[in-house]
Amino acid sequence: MKKKLYIFSVIILTLIPFKAISLIEVDITRGNLNPLPIAVSPLYIDESSKKIFFEETKIENLGSEITKVVENNLKTTGLFNPLSKDAFLQKPDIAHLKPRFEDWTLIKAQALITGKITIVEKKIRIEFRLWDVLANKEMLALAFTTVPNNWRRVGHIISDKVYERLTGEKGYFDTRIIYVAEEGPKTNRIKKLAIMDQDGFNTKYLTLGNELVLTPRFNPTNQMVTYLSYFRNLPRVYLLDIETGIQEVVGDFPGMTFAPRFSPDGKKIIMSFASEGNSDIYTMDLETRVVERITNHPSIDTSPSYSPDGKYICFNSDRSRYQQIYVMKSDGSNVKRISFGKGLYGTPVWSPRGDLIAFTKLHKGKFYIGVMRTDGSGERLLTENFYQEAPSWSPNGRVLIFYRETKTNDKGEGFSAKLWSIDLTGYNERLVTTKTDASDPSWSSLLSK
Amino acid sequence: MNREIFLSFSFHLLIIFGATLTLPFLLKKPIDLPPIISVELIQITEKTNIPFAPKAKKIIEKVKEKEKLVSEQAPPKKVKKEKPDSIPLPDEKVEVIKKQEEKKQNPEKIEDKMKQVSEFEKKEMFDTNQIAALIDKSKEEEAKTNIKSNKITQSQDDSVDMTSLTLSEEDALKAQIFGCWSIPLGLPYNENLLVRIKLKLKPDGTVMKSEILDHARMNKPGQGFYKVLAESALRAIQLCQPLRVPSTGYERWKNLQLNFDAREMLEG
Amino acid sequence: MNLNKIFKNAFLIVLVSFVLSACATKTKQLGSQIQGDVYTGTDTVEYLASGVPDRVFFATNESVLTTASRETLRKQAAWLRKNPNINVVLEGHADERGTREYNLALGERRANAAKDYLMTYGISSNRISVISYGKERPVDSGSNPLAWSKNRRSVTVKAN
């Protein structure tokens, strides 16, 4: 009996510590960086809804049109590879109920989007699902309604949700970009304010081109724009209401005001005011109209940008002889220089995530778009070009949009200005299509919040 | 204007200077290439013999002392195998050695090595006193009660008393999973990107059960990328089924933990 | 064998010298129109009156007036004194090799440098207004140093 007990306890004792350790561990430190293969099945619409849609929007097959929007969005991130529809085996209506995952793994899809749209009292109702093809389960299911004419935004919202679920980051597809549309000879460019969806559709012009307009920026609710206009040959900062088109001059300054931005709460406009050869930074409260002077230095202080919490401002100053980037508290105190590399630094803009400041750098005749941490460390240059500047952040702080100009030949021919975007990792540099030449882009926040 | 002249003058001087200094060397005979030194490439074998793994060295030395002891125990090893669930082989130190081996990445042919496995492993190290002690005590009891199962063990594969993968087995598995794992590009490169997944495998390499360690991290705010990372690892495992597991020694690797770390690839 | 080598090297030295001297001549060509990074030519210059150039030029990132600029401005001041009813606008410009917003400020600084100088020669400040166009209105659309030097300017324009 004693012996048996002894053996039993020995067995137990050995079991406890060792069983846990009898596990082989293998470290997997490499993989491939291929974009995720994703299948976007056309959204299913029944025949009667199809007819009503066509009457409303003149679009034949709304289901596939919306999926095209989604595919294009996902593709431009460089993170996804939307598969060709010709290979799809399952029909949209069946796929949406319960996909036959074998059919989708056959074409090497790892994720699948299915959905359907119906008319509900003159509105469209969208249901969509995101499936993990390999794990054979649903990852996401959402439904929402909107007016038929908003169908492109439906595609953008689906893209945002899918992007967020698969990358862990908020999306940036349901957004707009405001920029300056330009035409004409380099010596006399005609410039207009233009606004478009981030995928280049629905372009609208907000000014006529009769006066020079520059550097437009959205307010946090995306309903107002602040910009510089040379109306009546007096360069001043203006406010424009996108809905009504009404423009008003900001403040009553006796000289040029320029480089305007909104504060993160949308209540103030921060800008530069130039007088007698000196440019300083000022703010004006849009409600009280109270003007506050933020910098007071004989050097040029311009391009101010608030941190997302409104506590700090980064700006461009040549107080140390050449253009550098500085950070100060929002009341103008505690000014610190943060750029120390070789070359000139300009156009600092604070990321909506608060962690980085993007900038333009000029060194040895080349222009760079780069980012650095808010204390100036970790400077990374993302792209180099003959001429490029003025980066603006996507609302999730992952992508930068900026503009480039081309070199002209000796006759002055061949000039063009275009918008470009690049991912924070330095990958995925791409041209943003615009109807005309374009410059000074600025990204809105997410339209749906 | 003056600046240009000065620069031109100084460059001229430099060239003339450089030419006068270097020219005489052109008259000399070309330097003979040094004789080619033959370098011996160290073979990676099943038996660890890596000089630079300090822990391994200690253990190997320890074992060599006990080698005699171990060989005496040879028959009882088979006995132990009869009751794998009662006295599993302690292998923590052996695992450490294996980890050191992982640093080297020389893929070898698997087929050849697998055949030799059994021979080598008989000499393999069991360096804890506890095992010796256990074996002594259990031997007596088990020998009495497990005569029948003795026969069964003898017909089993006489391989693999070790409890970790050999270097080449591991490389094979790694190579397979490297090909299946699509690392999400959108992950933040300056965060902890390690996700550990415990797997229970079937003998043919398919997955019976998978479990993500640090599961709580999946839903932590600000760690949304962890969920994405974990899901990508799970997809990799799914894609790669059946896993490239050794053809023998199921008991050894039926519980496998894969540590996916995206840091190296994303940091660039 | 040795002689051959000496000739070879001597030839190389001479060749290199020629190459270097070629570089020197290139700057001589531009040199006639640019001095110290400031445009000194008359290509784009217009005249307010006979012998009174309407503009002054600047070096990159500078708003300092050169001797030539000051001479031009003195002539302008003299002409303005003779014509007390004329008011002027000083337009400040920058070249395209800089960021847009900073260039707006730089243009303003340049125009003010010219204005201040005119004022020291007795022209009252209410006769002079200042506007900056930054890099928006280049006079030469080329993408080369000569074109850029022509664009770094402050132009005096009759306001009435």
State the pLDDT at residue A200: 95
> Are residues A88 and A111 both part of a single domain?
yes
CB contact under 8 A, A387 and C144: no
Q: Judge if the upstream peptide bond of residue B242 is cis by omega within 30 degrees of 0.
A: yes
Distance from CA of A321 to the nearest CA of B (A): 24
State the pLDDT at residue B19: 75
Cβ atoms of B240 and B234 within 8 Å: the answer is no
Quote the DSSP letter at residue C125: G
Identify the domain boundary among A148, A167, A186. Answer: A167
State the pLDDT at residue A192: 97
> Are residues A192 and A222 both part of a single domain?
yes
* Cβ neighbours of C59 (radius 10 Å): 16
Residues 248-277 on A with a CB inside 8 Å of C are 255-256, 258-259, 272, 274, 276-277
Q: What is the pLDDT of residues A187-218, one digit of tens each?
A: 999 999 999 999 999 999 999 999 999 999 99
Identify the domain boundary among A167, A190, A205. Answer: A167
- Residue stretches of chain B with pLDDT short of 70: 1, 21-164, 186, 189, 267-268
> Are residues A111 and A196 both part of a single domain?
no
Identify the domain boundary among A141, A167, A193. Answer: A167
Cβ atoms of A215 and A253 within 8 Å: the answer is no
In a domain, A299, yes or no: no
Residues 350-369 on A with a CB inside 8 Å of C are 360, 362, 365
- Which residues contact residue A412 at a Cβ distance below 8 angstroms, ignoring those fewer than 6 apart? A186, A187, C140, C141, C142, C147
CB neighbour class for A12 (10 Å; exposed up to 12, middle 13-18, buried from 19): exposed
Domain that holds residue A69: 11-167
For residue A290, give both structure tokens: 């109270």
What φ, ψ does residue A92 adopt, rounded to 5°? -55, -40
Determine which of B141, B174, B231, B253 to mutate to test the interface with A (most A C-beta atoms within 10 Å).
B231
- Give the three-state DSSP class for A301: strand
In a domain, A250, yes or no: no
- Which residues contact residue A247 at a Cβ distance below 8 angstroms, ignoring those fewer than 6 apart? A229, A238, A239, A240, A241
Residue A439: what residue type? S
In a domain, A196, yes or no: yes
> Are residues A58 and A127 both part of a single domain?
yes
Cβ atoms of B201 and B252 within 8 Å: the answer is no
- Closest residue in C to B28 (Cα) is C2
In a domain, A285, yes or no: no
Q: How far apart, in whole angstroms, are the C-alpha atoms of residue A81 and residue A83?
A: 6
CB contact under 8 A, B8 and C9: no
Q: What pLDDT tens digit does each residue of chain C (160 aa) get? A: 577 878 887 787 777 766 665 554 444 455 578 888 999 999 899 999 999 999 999 999 999 999 999 999 999 999 999 999 999 999 999 999 999 999 999 999 999 999 999 999 999 999 999 999 999 999 999 999 999 999 999 999 999 8
Q: What is the CATH number of the domain that holds A410?
A: 2.120.10.30
Helix (H) or strand (E) holding B26: helix B2-27
> Are residues A160 and A207 both part of a single domain?
no
CB contact under 8 A, B186 and A34: no
State the pLDDT at residue B134: 42
> Are residues A130 and A186 both part of a single domain?
no
Q: How far apart, in whole angstroms, are the C-alpha atoms of residue B247 and residue B229?
A: 30
> Are residues A92 and A123 both part of a single domain?
yes
Which residue in A31, A167, A425 is closest to B182 by CB distance?
Answer: A31
Distance from CA of A79 to the nearest CA of B (A): 6
Distance from CA of A163 to the nearest CA of B (A): 10
Cβ atoms of A283 and A240 within 8 Å: the answer is no
- Give the three-state DSSP class for A15: helix
Cβ atoms of A295 and A301 within 8 Å: the answer is yes
The ipTM is 0.90
> Are residues A55 and A162 both part of a single domain?
yes
Q: What pLDDT tens digit does each residue of chain A (449 aa) get? A: 677 777 776 666 655 554 445 678 889 998 887 889 999 999 998 888 888 888 888 888 888 899 999 999 999 998 899 998 888 887 777 777 788 888 888 888 999 999 999 888 888 899 999 999 988 889 999 999 999 889 999 999 999 999 998 988 889 999 999 999 999 999 999 999 999 999 999 999 999 999 999 999 999 999 999 999 999 999 999 999 999 999 999 999 999 999 999 999 999 999 999 999 999 999 999 999 999 999 999 999 999 999 999 999 999 999 999 999 999 999 999 999 999 999 999 999 999 999 999 999 999 999 999 999 999 999 999 999 999 999 999 999 999 999 999 999 877 789 999 999 999 888 889 999 999 999 999 999 999 86
In a domain, A258, yes or no: no
> Are residues A82 and A204 both part of a single domain?
no
Distance of CA A418 to the CA centre of its chain: 17
> Are residues A110 and A153 both part of a single domain?
yes
In a domain, A126, yes or no: yes
Best CA proximity match to A146, nearest among A174, A128, A161, A124: A124
Distance of CA C26 to the CA centre of its chain: 20
- Give the three-state DSSP class for C113: helix
- Domain count within chain A: 2
In a domain, A5, yes or no: no
Q: What is the pLDDT of residues A86-108, one digit of tens each?
A: 888 877 777 777 888 888 888 88
pTM: 0.75
Directed axis angle between helix B129-145 and helix B74-82, to 10°?
60
> Are residues A323 and A425 both part of a single domain?
yes
In a domain, A94, yes or no: yes
Residues of B in contact with C21 (CB under 8 A): 8, 12
- Closest residue in C to A228 (Cα) is C101
What would the DSSP string read from start to end of B138-179?
Answer: HHHHHHHH-HHHHHHHHHS-----SSS--HHHHHHHHHHHHH
> Are residues A209 and A154 both part of a single domain?
no
Which residue in C9, C13, C24 is closest to B26 by CB distance?
Answer: C9
